[in-house]
Amino acid sequence: MKLKVVVHEAEEGGFWAGVPAISGCATEGESFEELLQNLYEAVEGCLSMGVEPAQEGDRPRVIEIAV
């Protein structure tokens, strides 16, 4: 399965990301590598239970991951 992920730079440093195809699925990381690792865990968790929608920032990047 491939999912599009919207990546944002956090104001306080690091990154956060949301998965538009999974309502409310979002995570963060201090580095881009940590963010990617956390994304896999977040997607798994979001697919196993419902969560509230995430808020979007103003400088997004869209990437695609395979899970």
Beta bridge partners of 61: 7
Residues 9-45 have pLDDT tens digits of 999 999 999 999 888 899 999 999 999 999 999 999 9
Greater pLDDT, 23 or 62:
23
pLDDT at 56 over 60: no
> How is residue 65 written in tokens?
């991951």
Task: Reply yes or no on whether the pLDDT at 61 is more than 80.
Answer: no
Specify the pLDDT at position 43: 93
Q: pTM here?
A: 0.69
Q: Are 54 and 25 in contact (CB under 8 A)?
A: yes
Say what the pLDDT of residue 58 is: 54
